[in-house]
Amino acid sequence: MTFTYTRTIRFQDTDAAGVVYFASVLSICHEAYEESLAASGISLQAFFGKSSVGIPIVHASVDFLRPLFCGDKILIYLTPKYMGDDYFEVAYKVVTAGDREVAKALTEHVCINAESRSRQQLPEEIARWFQQWAE
What pLDDT sits at residue 32? 98
Amino acid at 82: Y
What pLDDT sits at residue 26? 97
What pLDDT sits at residue 1? 82
Q: Which pairs with CB-CB distance under 8 Å and at least 24 residues apart come from 113-118?
A: 113/52, 113/53, 113/54, 114/51, 114/52, 114/53, 114/54, 115/52
What pLDDT sits at residue 47? 86
Of the candidates 17, 22, 106, which has an alpha carbon nearest to the alpha carbon of residue 64?
22
pTM, 2 dp:
0.94
What pLDDT sits at residue 51? 80
What pLDDT sits at residue 97? 82
Domain boundaries, the chain: 3-133
What pLDDT sits at residue 50? 73
Question: Is 15 an annotated catalytic residue?
Answer: yes
Catalytic residue, chosen from 15, 72, 85, 99, is: 15
For the chain of 135 residues, list the mean pLDDT of each consecutive stretch of 10.
Answer: 95 96 97 97 88 93 97 97 96 93 98 94 92 89
Give domain 3-133's CATH superfamily: Hotdog Thioesterase (3.10.129.10)
What pLDDT sits at residue 135? 80
What pLDDT sits at residue 49? 84
CB 80 within 8 A of CB 90: yes
